[in-house]
Amino acid sequence: MTKIHSLLFTALLSFLTVNFFTTAAAEKPAEIDKAFISFRIGMGQSVSESRFTELLDLFDKYDGVTDEVTLFTTYSHSVQKPELFESRVKLFAQRIAAAKARGYRSGYNILCIMGHHNENLPNSIVDPENYTQVTDINGSTSQGSLCPNDPDLIKQMLWRIQLMMDANPDYIWLDDDIRLAGHIPVNLTCFCDNCLARFAKETGRKWTREEIRAAADQGSLAEKLEFRKKWLQHNRDTINDLFAAISTYVHERNPGLPLGFMTGDRFWEGYDFDRWADTLSGKTNAPVMWRPGGGYYEDSSTGGLVDKSHAIGRQVSVLPDHVRSIQSEIENFPYQRLKKAANIVALEAVEHIAAGCTGAAFNVLGQYDEPLDEFEPLVARLHQVRPFLDLMAKNLGRAKLPGVSVYWNKDGFAALSLEGGSWFNGGGLFPDDEMFDVGIPSAYDSKYAQVLVLTRTAVVALSDDQIRDILSKGVYMDGPTLDLLNERGFGDLTGFKTIRTDSVDRMTEFLPHPLNGEYAGRRCDNRQSFVWWLYPAYLLEKTDPQAQSLARLLDYSFEPVHDCCLGVFENKLGGRICVQGYYPWTFLENLSRSAQLKSIMRWLSKDSLPGYIASFHKINLWIRQPQPSGQIALAFTNASFDPAENVILMLRTDRKILKLYDMACNQTILQSIENDGPYQKFVIPLVDPWQIRLLVTEP
């Protein structure tokens, strides 16, 4: 081919690429035919040509176990020195070419752009005269992490991007070091001179760190909240501008090159994933990939798996529809095979698809140049489950998740310590998610939820209009939340008030009521004297004659203390309210409390809850919105070490046939045995411990 022909061919390819992706982005996203699966490869397998060949041979042996081979640019978590980065990128270009020659898509995972923390500093950029280190509110820094508002860092970053683009990768992934919290040894950043100067332009006045601390922690609630929201917006814009610099540079040179980004729960950064995804797509509407993640590195605490699924579900819920490749982070750091069973690795990938992903990115292989024989059984297990990953992604796609949602929004971090204490100490936004372990369907976007779980931390940051709108729906809350709502003037919509709290020696007794059913008279004692799980009992008083008590308080002599600690109320807006004054978030996993909670959730939703597990099993449930045809797909995990026998699924549908798939893609046909109002009742005979099932209604 002559040089002229080559140039013409390149121009034509560029034109077709731009127009293909522009058209694709403008039209309705295509259906997902199979899962997006990749392996992230560390230097232990990529530096040595012979070891990398062995790796590709292993993937070839288990044909289809992965579609993509993604190479880390380093093995440590600070910003490499330029000469070291350049030498490795050029070496890995050969590995990318080798992977592509075998039929795999291949590209780089750049680690790091900003840096995570102080690791391998002798081989990293530690140059405070030329590069600004991230800085916390006290002026402390992380030597291994650099400020994203530093123009010198951006120049260095774009030079690195160009080196990777020279290797003709299929994509480039940006890692989750692009964040402003957790840069060990500091946490919330960045308050360096660059960032203070930027914030001064945004607000029209200069700021010192001391003045920022005072504005965030002193003054009225409204004043503190207003300032904090401005800072969160500053954080959002900081990251968005970094992505704009990357996207503009990349897509001016390669319009269709996909960029990917990894996240966690990024509340300090403003959780602006939808805008960031659009920015990474750029003016050419190039594909964007996402890798939602969170820490779950070994399986000694299996409850951490579903905690991560819930975090991932939140992350996916804000992504725009054009993001199709959503590969959950499956990480086994420090990659010691016995720390996480192959079955759990497989289950994790499947469960994260249930929570909203469309694939998985496996970072599970060894970090040393050693034979891969100890990892082959893991690869073999992932090969076995690959057809099920495809089946899950195809049937669930990117449909939204209705159900019960713990209310949150992008400004949620602004509410932390708003009523006292320092904002800069951080903290958690969510109560314990135990209620989702008993078969209540998880939802992550309040727009699609039938019931909202409301906390005081959420309410404190809401406007009156937002609160009124929420109270017109189904709402589950605790005592402190009730107190704040009443203080804000919404007592006519809540139906109750608290009159005092008791911190020791209280239990509840279920009262005769249709929502308690056969469990009237049952008692629950959560032993408040054990201080590590102390939750004061809130004594409730009805403020509206229509309010109803479901449970009363007893003392340890079984004598009545107060006639209401749990109640329900339907207000004038049509909203249904439940106030739980006795352990609202925990100790929900005995038969009577779990049954009562499901009954309450169904009542709160006015029978619009998409489904639930009616039997007494430890099950996590995700249900997708029905397709236009009315077809419904859902998945659930038996999150117990016991087999689940005769699982009862109540599904809001008129379809009476379900197809059930196990993780080996074996199909079973289930027939509804009866209906209860709008719900069909299906019985699943057996689900083994820590296994997931996919269920799809007949079209």
Helices 221-253, 151-165: inter-axial angle, 10-degree rounding: 40
68 & 173 share domain: yes
The reply to whether 586 falls in a domain is yes
Which residue reads 């209860």 in tokens? 676
- The domain that holds 525 is classified in CATH as 3.40.50.880
451 & 364 share domain: no
- Rg (C-alpha) for the chain, rounded Å, is 27
User: Which has the closest alpha carbon to 570: 474, 481, 432?
Assistant: 474
298 & 414 share domain: no
- CA distances (Å), origin 418, targets 218, 222, 226, 460, 676: 9, 9, 11, 8, 45
pLDDT for 533: 82
**How many C-beta atoms surround the C-beta of residue 176 within 10 A?**
20
**363 with 330: CB under 8 angstroms?**
yes
Element of type H or E holding 603: helix 591-604
Which is it for the CA torsion 493, 494, 496, 497, positive or negative? Answer: negative
**124 with 177: CB under 8 angstroms?**
no
Which residue reads 């590195």 in tokens? 297
The reply to whether 16 falls in a domain is no
527 & 637 share domain: no
SS (H, E, C) 144-198: EEECCCCHHHHHHHHHHHHHHHCCCCCCEEECCCCCCCCCCCCCCECCCHHHHHH
The reply to whether 5 falls in a domain is no
Distance between CA 616 and CA 620 in Å, rounded? 12
pLDDT digits (tens, 9 = 90+) for 199-214: 999 999 999 999 999 9
The phi, psi pair for 265, rounded to 5°, reads -70, 105
The reply to whether 613 falls in a domain is no
Which residue reads 């820490």 in tokens? 295
Domain that holds residue 513: 403-606
Final residue before a domain boundary, out of 562, 579, 606: 606
141 & 235 share domain: yes
Q: Which residues contact 572 (CB under 8 A, 6 or more apart)?
A: 492, 493
SS3 category, 575? coil
Final residue before a domain boundary, out of 580, 606, 632: 606
The reply to whether 6 falls in a domain is no
Rounded to the nearest 10 degrees, how much is the dihedral formed by the CA atoms of 595, 597, 601, 603?
70
**411 with 232: CB under 8 angstroms?**
yes
**How many C-beta atoms surround the C-beta of residue 222 within 10 A?**
9
- Position 358: which residue type? T
465 & 598 share domain: yes
Q: Which residues contact 62 (CB under 8 A, 6 or more apart)?
A: 379, 380, 382, 383
Distance between CA 296 and CA 394 in Å, rounded? 26
571 & 662 share domain: no
Q: What is the largest CA-CA distance in the chain?
A: 95
Q: Which residues contact 3 (CB under 8 A, 6 or more apart)?
A: none
**165 with 140: CB under 8 angstroms?**
no
The reply to whether 10 falls in a domain is no
Q: Is the peptide bond before 112 cis (omega within 30 degrees of 0)?
A: yes
601 & 677 share domain: no
Distance between CA 49 and CA 503 in Å, rounded? 65
597 & 628 share domain: no
579 & 664 share domain: no
- The domain that holds 217 is classified in CATH as 3.20.20.80
Output DSSP code: residue 367: S
Decide: residue 31, CB within 10 A, 0-12 exposed, 13-18 middle, 19+ buried.
exposed
What predicted TM-score, i.e. pTM, was given to this entire model? 0.94
427 & 467 share domain: yes
Final residue before a domain boundary, out of 328, 363, 396: 396
pLDDT for 30: 62
Kindly give the parts of the chain with pLDDT less than 70. Answer: 1-30
Q: Count of domains in the chain? A: 3
Output DSSP code: residue 442: B
The phi, psi pair for 40, rounded to 5°, reads -95, 125
- The domain that holds 678 is classified in CATH as 2.60.40.1180
Which residue reads 């929004």 in tokens? 409
The reply to whether 86 falls in a domain is yes
Structure token digits, residue 25: 């982005």
pLDDT for 18: 33
The reply to whether 156 falls in a domain is yes
365 & 423 share domain: no
DSSP line for 207-275: --HHHHHHHHHSS-HHHHHHHHHHHHHHHHHHHHHHHHHHHHHHHHH-TT--EEEEE---TTTT--HHH
